[in-house]
């Protein structure tokens, strides 16, 4: 593992927000491409999904989603339910950060069905939740991001099918707008 990456990982859980705020974007940038150190930090990130600190849960979820491209063993197939659980976090901002990152896991062919199925289940379940329409928008946007990344027509069909289930025309129009954009 490169020394700066190791230092950023050590700083990630610092009590000093400034140190954390420097480490997190650096690690997100480092994980935009596959890395060979994913499994060195995997278990710690997975455990952090249940940490008492919501900021730590959000960081862990986003990093795990970014590490999906560095998962040749397919651990995310097994660990996906733990990430999906964070989308129901008691802290709304934590739930949204995780939800907005989940699509990245679906870029891998094997993981795509698990992610899409998880997002469909989440879309159906969140309608009655506080801020459910915002969560649904994030899900539709995540499916659009996934479609843009992989050009899989079944992802688009799934998203459009979910939008059709929306009974409120105002929100149906809003969600459909995600797919009208280039």
Query: For 41-95, what is each residue's pLDDT tens digit?
Result: 999 999 999 999 999 999 999 999 999 999 999 999 999 999 999 999 999 999 9
**Does residue 101 lie within any of the structural domains?**
yes
**Does residue 15 lie within any of the structural domains?**
no
CA 75, distance to chain mean position in Å, is 15
Please say if the pLDDT value at position 2 is more than 70.
Answer: no
HSE, CB side, 13 Å, CA atoms: give it for residue 121. 11
Who's near 15: CB < 8 A, 6+ residues apart? none
The closest alpha carbon to 118, from 56, 68, 50, 168, belongs to 68
**Does residue 8 lie within any of the structural domains?**
no
Q: Which of 18-22, 109-113, 117-121, 173-177 has the lowest mean pLDDT?
A: 18-22
Q: Which of 7-16, 29-38, 102-111, 125-134 has the lowest mean pLDDT?
A: 7-16
**Does residue 19 lie within any of the structural domains?**
no
HSE, CB side, 13 Å, CA atoms: give it for residue 30. 21
How many domains does the chain fold into? Answer: 1
**Does residue 23 lie within any of the structural domains?**
no
**Does residue 22 lie within any of the structural domains?**
no
Domain with 135, as residue range(s), is 31-180
pLDDT of residue 14: 83
**Does residue 114 lie within any of the structural domains?**
yes
Sign of CA dihedral 151, 102, 85, 95: negative
The CATH number assigned to the domain holding 153 equals 1.25.10.10
Token representation of residue 82: 């733990």
Between 12 and 160, the higher pLDDT residue? 160
21 falls in which pLDDT band (50, 70, 90)?
confident
- In this prediction the pTM is 0.92
**Does residue 40 lie within any of the structural domains?**
yes
């Amino acid at each position: 593992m490169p020394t700066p990456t190791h230092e950023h990982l050590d700083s990630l859980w610092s009590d000093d927000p400034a140190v954390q705020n420097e480490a997190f974007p650096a690690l997100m940038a480092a994980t935009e491409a596959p890395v060979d150190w994913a499994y060195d930090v995997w278990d710690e990130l997975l455990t952090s999904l249940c940490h008492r600190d919501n900021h730590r849960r959000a960081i862990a979820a986003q990093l795990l989603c970014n590490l999906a491209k560095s998962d040749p063993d397919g651990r995310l197939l097994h660990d996906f339910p733990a990430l999906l659980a964070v989308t129901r976090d008691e802290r709304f901002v934590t739930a949204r950060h995780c939800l907005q990152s989940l699509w990245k896991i679906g870029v891998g062919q094997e993981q795509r069905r698990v992610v899409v199925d998880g997002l469909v289940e989440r879309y159906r379940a969140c309608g009655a939740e506080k801020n459910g329409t915002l969560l649904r928008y994030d899900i539709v946007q995540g499916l659009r991001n996934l479609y843009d990344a992989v050009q899989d027509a079944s992802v688009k069909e799934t998203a459009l099918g979910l939008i059709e289930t929306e009974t409120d025309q105002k929100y149906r129009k809003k969600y459909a707008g995600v797919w009208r954009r280039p």
